[in-house]
Amino acid sequence: MQVSPRKVVHIHYTLTSDDGDILDSSRDQGPLAYIHGMGNIIPGLENALSGHTVGDKLKVSIPPEEAYGLRDDDLIQSVPKTAFQEGQEILPGMQFQAQSPEGLQLLTVIGVDDDEVVLDGNHPMAGLTLNFEVEITEVREATTDELNHGHVHGPGGHHHG
How many Cα neighbours within 13 Å face the side chain of 81?
12
List pLDDT tens digits, range 13-30.
Answer: 999 999 999 999 998 889
Number of domains in the chain: 2
- Residue 1 domain-assigned (yes or no): no
Of the candidate ranges 2-6, 45-49, 83-87, 92-96, the one whose mean pLDDT is the lowest: 83-87
Give me the CATH number covering residue 86. Answer: 2.40.10.330
For 97, the domain range is 73-120
pLDDT band at residue 161 using 50, 70 and 90 as cut-offs? very low
How far is Cα 11 from Cα 58, in angstroms, rounded to an integer?
A: 11
The pTM of this model reads: 0.81
pLDDT digits (tens, 9 = 90+) for 72-124: 999 999 999 988 888 888 999 999 988 888 788 899 999 999 899 999 999 99
Is 116 found in the same domain as 50? no
Question: From CA 20, how far away is CA 29, in angstroms rounded?
Answer: 21
> What's phi and psi for 48, nearest 5 deg?
-65, -30
Using a pLDDT cut of 70, give the percent of the chain over it.
96
- Establish if 159 belongs to a structural domain: no
Q: Is residue 90 part of a domain?
A: yes
Residue 161 lies in a domain: no
Continuous segment of H or E residues that includes residue 147: helix 144-149
